[in-house]
Structure 1
Amino acid sequence: MVSYFTIDATGEGTNFQKEISNMMHGFGDNPNPNAATVVLVENVVLQQLRTMLQEAWALCNARGGKAISNYDIIYLMRKNVIKLKRLHDYQIKLDTVDKGRQVPSGTTAETLNSLMLEDDIDPQNRKRRTHIDIIKEVDEFDEVSQIKFDTIDYLRKVRAAKLTESMSFEKYEAYHKARCSSFRSGNQLVKGYAKLERWINPNKELKITMFALEVLCFIAYETVAEIVDAVFLIRQDAKKKNGDPFSKYEGGHFCNPLSLNNAVYIKSGYEGVPAITVAEVREALRRYFSPRTGMNGLFYRNMSLDLPTRYLIL
């Protein structure tokens, strides 16, 4: 299994530490996230994206493609219907922000060719192969359209509402800016993903389309969010007391009244949230990447063999 704790994300001179720090703050971390934790989260996100690119490149070669497209990335997500639904809604929001997702005037042909396939440059093909269209193709049983309520988004918004209920205007303004952070730089459609491409593909060994970078931007953002969510669940487990099943609900912690099993627990207020530590992130990763033990538990002999590649958001 590849280690997720020793990868240097800054070796190529491009990093997203500032953006990730703001994202963690926006997801509920302390206003001043732990610097070592931010570096670790950045390493994890970078490793996840590069591993996913290798799988997507294999799919691209299998279908005879010239560059990794959004189809190759979305195909890897096909088994997680909830994330497909979130990507579906993400594109709708981007369409609104980008006003038709038109390429800005003045963009050179060299920039386009480095980010887009020939098929993507054609207006008709671009319109036909949106993320939503590809999601409909890979969703054989039409499960995405049956999801009417985004539980993940709801829980994160409830957490944000709990954090901001007693904020001053100045602190809320800083928190709002943190909530707006992402792996997309600026508002331009093409140049907005240039930094992301330099980060994940510094030597330009792989050809990646602009729409594939857009999906990778979404995946990177969700990976940071999943790590923060997992840490809060670990803190919830830490409150448990043997023999008292309701001990984790003590101390004025908030819980989602609709579903206690999937609740997000956090103390009310803004300054009182302790910064996420490296140990907490490592514990979250340990729990996630621990191999499944199967029906025989500790007697399962092949638990370390043929482990599939796992992604935090999938």
Structure 2
Amino acid sequence: MAEENPEKSIVERSTRKLEVDSIGSSLGSDLLLDDLLLMMHAAGDVSQPCKATATLVLNIVYSQICVLLSKASEMAELRNSNEIGIEDIVVLMRTSLSKCRQLHEYFYLKENKKLVMQGMEFENVGEWCGGAKLNKLSTILKNSIVLIDPSYTLLNDAKSNEDRMQRLQRAEEQTRCMNKEQYLFYSQARKVTFLKRMNKFLQWFVNFVDYFDTKPNMDAWEVIAYLAHETVVNIVHLALLIKHEKMSVEDIAATGSYDKVNIKEKVSTPLTTHDVSEAYRRYTATAPLHRCKINNVDSWVKDLIFLL
């Protein structure tokens, strides 16, 4: 059988609809569409996103996580493990240490917040059933990252801080004109993540992971759910840039002057499938190309969107 031409693969992906596993796609729409609408709103879309656009975003997330699972399964097999662990995922993220740091920071704060909610102080964590056990996931993450970068510490990182400030700025711009009811709805939407819908999330990929002998453990599934949410956020952000660009062109045509264009103007219409498709096309046209197996078929794939 002739090898697939990677350049031809790129052209085909840019001219046809994104192809995903049909079972996973429909199952995701049944299980998680309502939750994804809230995630898209929290990421910058309007309060009532388009369902067709949300379905497309679900398809992209599904395909991206399938690639992640395929690569992670290969890594687990290389170290003769019978399950996919956090370390396998961290190795795949090694090209973006700032994203590894954000991942570690998220679970470190999440676990310590749980301790605070239980009425404990940080100084006494080590005295309560062993501090290492309480921060199991973040400890594994740290140890995995240290293997890649021995100088790694959970300190302020310029790239991580820049990403955080950009998200806070986008959230501030989005909420600036909201009334009380709209802001309360937005606040609730920001709490919705795949991590808080783990049962549905696991059902979504149950058919796909059956292809592998090595399957993720629960710690790895938590990390994967976090990365799936990051994928949604990055897709919405890229699509908003496309929408702003389109609005700017339309305004220039109407006013005849670029100076009168305000690309930060609040978007009152939902993201369209064209916005998301164009954002995905541009990303795949510039992201590095890699080869891996999906459903036991050799495929050419791009770097994953959550590394953006």
Compute the TM-score of the two structures, normalised by the length of structure 1.
0.72
Deviation of 1:19 (Å): 1.5
Deviation of 1:229 (Å): 1.0
| Structure with the larger helix share | 2
Mapped contact 2:194–2:229 kept (Cα < 8 A): yes
Q: Which residue of 2 aligns with 1:188?
A: none
In 2: Cα distance, 1:62 partner to 1:181 partner: 35
Deviation of 1:219 (Å): 0.7
In 2: Cα distance, 1:26 partner to 1:97 partner: 21
Mapped contact 2:287–2:303 kept (Cα < 8 A): no
In 1: Cα distance, 2:138 partner to 2:268 partner: 46
In 2: Cα distance, 1:285 partner to 1:10 partner: 17
Residues 1:130 and 2:146 are matched in the alignment: no
Deviation of 1:123 (Å): 5.0
Q: Which residue of 1 aligns with 2:235?
A: 227
Residues 1:21 and 2:26 are matched in the alignment: no
In 2: Cα distance, 1:155 partner to 1:126 partner: 30
Q: Deviations over 1:117-139 (max 9, x none)?
A: xxxxx959947952122122222
Q: Which residue of 2 aligns with 1:177?
A: 188
Q: Which residue of 1 aligns with 2:18?
A: 5
Amino acid at match of 1:147: D
Mapped contact 1:183–1:217 kept (Cα < 8 A): yes
After the TM superposition, which residues 247-262 of structure 1 pair with which residues of structure 2 at under 5 Å, given as runs? 247=258, 250-253=260-263
Q: Which residue of 1 aligns with 2:157?
A: 147
In 2: Cα distance, 1:218 partner to 1:292 partner: 21
In 2: Cα distance, 1:36 partner to 1:128 partner: 36
Residues 1:237 and 2:245 are matched in the alignment: yes
Q: Which residue of 1 aligns with 2:178?
A: 167
Q: Which residue of 2 aligns with 1:113?
A: none
Amino acid at match of 1:161: E
Summarize the Cα distance change of 1:292–1:178 in structure 2 as closer, same or farther, 3 Å threshold: closer
Deviation of 1:75 (Å): 0.9
Q: Deviations over 1:226-283 (max 9, x none)?
A: 11111122233332569xxx93x64444xxxxxxxxxxxx324xxx521000001110
In 1: Cα distance, 2:243 partner to 2:41 partner: 17
Q: Which residue of 1 aligns with 2:123?
A: none
Deviation of 1:208 (Å): 1.4
Task: State the identity %.
Answer: 25
Compute the TM-score of the two structures, normalised by the length of structure 2.
0.73
Q: Which residue of 2 aligns with 1:201?
A: 206
Deviation of 1:146 (Å): 6.1
2:103 to 73, 87, 92: 87
Q: Which runs of 5+ in 1 are unaligned?
A: 103-121, 186-191, 254-265, 294-305
Q: Which runs of 5+ in 2 are unaligned?
A: 1-8, 119-131, 289-298
Moved more, 232-241 or 84-93: 232-241
Q: Which residue of 2 aligns with 1:279?
A: 274
- Runs of 4+ in structure 1 over 6 Å off: none
Mapped contact 2:111–2:134 kept (Cα < 8 A): no
Mapped contact 2:40–2:233 kept (Cα < 8 A): yes
Amino acid at match of 1:36: A
RMSD over aligned Cα atoms: 3.3
Deviation of 1:156 (Å): 1.6
Q: Which residue of 1 aligns with 2:59?
A: 43
In 1: Cα distance, 2:149 partner to 2:167 partner: 26
In 2: Cα distance, 1:98 partner to 1:232 partner: 34
Amino acid at match of 2:60: V
Mapped contact 1:49–1:216 kept (Cα < 8 A): yes
Residues 1:73 and 2:89 are matched in the alignment: yes
Mapped contact 1:291–1:307 kept (Cα < 8 A): no
Q: Which residue of 2 aligns with 1:218?
A: 226
Residues 1:34 and 2:39 are matched in the alignment: no
In 2: Cα distance, 1:125 partner to 1:279 partner: 43
